[in-house]
Amino acid sequence: MAQTGLGDVNFPTAAAWSHDGRRLVVGTYEGTLALYDARTLALEADAGGVEPGWIKTADFSPDDTTIVTGGTLGDISFYSVPTLDRLGAQLTIRAQDGGAFAWYDPHGDVDGYAPDSAKASLDLVRWFRFRVDTPALLTAACDVAGGDISRSQWQRYVGDQPYRHVCR
């Protein structure tokens, strides 16, 4: 498929279909990431080289608005759909053997693992789960901040938009 339908894509290493069946994301051995129309295989977005190693996994969020990737250096990254703009910085999963595998679970959390032969058990991987749903992140941010943003903080950081409470 990669050589005939997608053009000259060198060594695809990760691919995923969106849940609605409209898009296909492909990561490569060269660390590139691209998004295609699933019906026509026309290129929709090309993020270029996003990983210094190769992309091991790629998966769509349950609502098909975000893609998570895992790479050979042990990082996971998030990209918006349909533009493939990177969302935030890469998250490094520390493990002895490098590499990270990540995917969305049906609830929208990111699950994954990183091989780690230094672990003192028969289970030679480090498992992880990140809560990435907006309400959970907002609640955590409000807990860390100790409460709502003040009107002066709102004006300083948000600007001209009307003030509103962000914490319960």
pLDDT surpassing 80 at residue 2: no
**Higher pLDDT pick, 34 / 11:** 34
From 22, 19, 56, select the one nearest 37 (Cα to Cα): 22
User: For position 126, what pLDDT does the model report?
Assistant: 78
Across 57-76, average pLDDT: 93
Q: What does the block give as tokens for 17? A: 């279909």
Q: 118: phi > 0 → left, psi -120 to 50 → alpha, else beta; which?
A: alpha
Instruction: Fill in the amino acid letter for 82.
Output: P
CA-closest candidate to residue 119, choices 99, 102, 94: 94
User: pTM for the complete prediction?
Assistant: 0.74
pLDDT for res 134: 62
Amino acid (one-letter) located at 53: G
Mean pLDDT of 49-71: 94
